[in-house]
Amino acid sequence: MSNAAVSPKRRQLLAAGGLSVAFVWLGAQKPASAALTPHRQAADAAAAAVDGAPAFAPNALIRIDASGAIRLVMPMVEMGQSIYTGSAMLLAEELDVGLDQIQLEHAPASDELYGMKLLKGQITGGSTSTRSTYTELREAGAVARALLVAAAAAQWKVAPDSCTVERGVIFHRASGRSLPYARVAAAASKLPDPGQVKLKQPSEFRLIGKPMARLDAADKVLGLTKFGIDVSVPGMRVATVQACPTRGGKLARVDERKARAVPGVIDVLRIDNAVAVVAQHFWAAKRGLELLDITWDHGPNASLSTRQLRDSLAASQASGKAVVGREVGSQPQGELIQATYKLPMLAHATMEPLNATVHVTPERCDIWAGTQVPTRVVANAAKLTGLPVDKVTLHPQYLGGGFGRRLETDYVDQAVAFAKLAPYPLKVIWTREEDVRHDIVRPMYHDVISAVVDAQGKPVWFGDRICSATVLGRWRPGAMRADGMDRDAIECAADLPYAVPNLKVEWVRHDMPPGLVVGWWRGVGALHNLFIVESFFDELAHRAKADPVAWRKALLRNNPRTTRVLELAAAKMGWGAPLPPRVGRGVALGEPFGTKVCAMVEVEVSPQGDVRLRRAVVAVDCGVPVNTGSIEAQIQGGLLFGLSAALYNEITIEHGAVQQSNFNDYRMIRMNETPAIEVHIVPSTEAPGGIGEVGTAIAAPALANAIYAATGVRLRELPIRREQLARKGGAA
């Protein structure tokens, strides 16, 4: 695998005039339509020309050079979710080459060539990558194979269907002849597009469905992978920054004399709400920043607090105008059970702090950064510099975690603003403290959830009144429903897996104060709603004095796939086996991102309220499994991410500023706290579902339900507080 940055020639793609980079995000403009296709497009010729004119470039994804090198241009970005390997498997499966024969490259910024159909742009997020490209990437490989085989068959004057391919070598067994792809690549490039191609049946798969090693693993272990924070370009200087701690505040005054005295410090740069110290290296910049005497204009949010935000949210929930997300039937007479759930703001805290390297000249702007939204980065930089879009070039890098944070462009926008003030390439690195304090946070939520139950305690009506800010309404307002509904806000609440005959799910929009921006967080709407719905349904099961697994199973009529993951997880967990005092098992079930999942967690809670994770079992049906090894890893990592958030994480605000700063007060599960995690994958031929966020979304309710089983304490707020759990003892 090649780990080199994309060729500068390919970076000149925009200047060649062959691509049109749409303004995917500038205010409320409409998103560009996605056009990822396995067939030739008008822009392909220009793309191939600036890509070194490979011998064979049948589409935007595949390049076969005269040397025989096979390059795959990845439309999605790699941020630890193993999508580069999964995507390569899909292409290689139909191209009939081995993974070891493939070199991977980051795609340039282009909605026209690399837009995702589900997100309608060159965007990596929402667990959509495999769902968006499962057919298209396979077809791309099949189209290329068909052209290469046709070229060889024409040279031999035989029928193409009399030829076979193994590891990129075409064979005609009857005559004993063979040709590698490279030998027919030039001839294949002159053939017309084959149109519809036949894809392999699952019984023919050599790669799909197998536990394949990640293509990027070896270089990452050896420290060779280049992330954004590793970028080095000639003449570069390094800066670290501090923005006004109060959201919406401005920079008033800076005394920089002490900072400039630090050896290695070169300059102090200012923009309206932040200051940067530039130095020969990061540590000099950081030391200089610490010595700045800064006066801030804290602006309208100077007295803002979490308590005010929470009270305002609760008031909107109680009296605000709701939009009905889904309503079936009506609320019948009967016993009404009701509960209130509250969830906090969350930061992303990716392992790689935010960073971007930018060089702005009068003629062009070059950006080196890891981002989930390449074309948004380019569009914003063009607007900020006043340059034409075709004079802005993004050099994509590997991402050291995304989790939705790099769906935003603020950190690149800020780097561009500072780089405009400097004559040299400028690498801007946020400290961990800056990263946490200026995160674009997951919204807080306030839900009142209810049910009318029958004589057996089963719900005959389900109600959920959700109140939150909207991420979608800011990030892509055109995707809001015509009546103002944010579909993400009701995901996994309006579409229950259970057979409940009547329901009403509604949402009250509650915008945050200006300057306090909310964003996507791993698991998005499903994360919030699965915790609330599955905790509440568990509450109903216990209230009916029923086993939570059997109770759920009875509600899964005509839902065999979800029933199967529930049964599989219960069997692997040994559900129902006796446990010691203050040890409990919890179950949570859901259908997020087109995937069926059941998680079971076993915990022990000390009399002092300390939670020890003993074991976790997850059963998952994600449709056709592409790379079973990656699925297992994603579920394990996602589960731990979600458990960390439930146990420890919240962002709080006092005097307009975020109080948390680093992993000391925004902590993660440590290695010695990690439970044994079993992942069981259900074989399936259904269309693929998402996987990257599934483990995170299902973690919190399984944990909370296990804590209830161990202590009798029903948790309706997160994160978990030790003092809540120390009040009761014994099993529920």
**CATH code, 470:** 3.30.365.10
My answer on whether 45 and 159 are in the same domain is: yes
My answer on whether 391 and 484 are in the same domain is: no
> What is the rounded average pLDDT of the residues 55-71?
93
Note whether residue 440 is domain-resident.
no
My answer on whether 275 and 140 are in the same domain is: no
pLDDT at 45: 77
Most confident of 39-43, 114-118, 504-508: 504-508
My answer on whether 423 and 451 are in the same domain is: no
pLDDT at 41: 80
Res. 7: pLDDT tops 80: no
Note whether residue 34 is domain-resident.
yes
Note whether residue 337 is domain-resident.
no
Hey, how many other C-beta atoms are within 10 angstroms of the C-beta on 472? Answer: 19
- Among residues 376, 396, 429, the one where a domain terminates is 429
Task: Judge contact between 553 and 723, C-beta under 8 A.
Answer: no
My answer on whether 202 and 282 are in the same domain is: no
- Among residues 403, 429, 455, the one where a domain terminates is 429
Task: Judge contact between 377 and 412, C-beta under 8 A.
Answer: yes
> What is the rounded average pLDDT of the residues 425-436?
98
My answer on whether 418 and 526 are in the same domain is: no
pLDDT at 310: 98
HEC profile for 567-600?
A: HHHHHHHCCCCCCCCCEEEEEEEECHHHCEEEEE
* Exposure letters 489-502 (e unless 16+ CB within 10 A, then b): bbbbbbebbbebeb
Beta bridge partners of 369: 396
| Three-state secondary-structure class, residue 553 | helix
Task: Judge contact between 38 and 52, C-beta under 8 A.
Answer: no
Angle of helix 129-156 relative to helix 181-188, nearest 10 degrees, comes to: 90
Return contacts of 310-315, CB within 8 angstroms, 24+ apart: 310/342, 310/444, 310/446, 312/510, 313/444, 313/445, 313/446, 313/467, 313/468, 313/510, 314/446, 314/467
My answer on whether 515 and 609 are in the same domain is: yes
My answer on whether 452 and 527 are in the same domain is: yes
Note whether residue 410 is domain-resident.
yes
Mean pLDDT for the chain overall = 93
Note whether residue 582 is domain-resident.
yes
My answer on whether 22 and 87 are in the same domain is: yes
pLDDT at 728: 53
Domain containing 93: what range?
8-221
Look at the chain and report how many structural domains it folds into: 3
My answer on whether 122 and 71 are in the same domain is: yes
Task: Judge contact between 87 and 138, C-beta under 8 A.
Answer: no
My answer on whether 126 and 263 are in the same domain is: no
Is the entire prediction scored with pTM above 0.75?
Answer: yes
Quickly tell me which residue has 């507080």 as its tokens: 721
My answer on whether 192 and 251 are in the same domain is: no
- Among residues 429, 460, 489, the one where a domain terminates is 429
36 pLDDT band, cuts 50/70/90, is confident
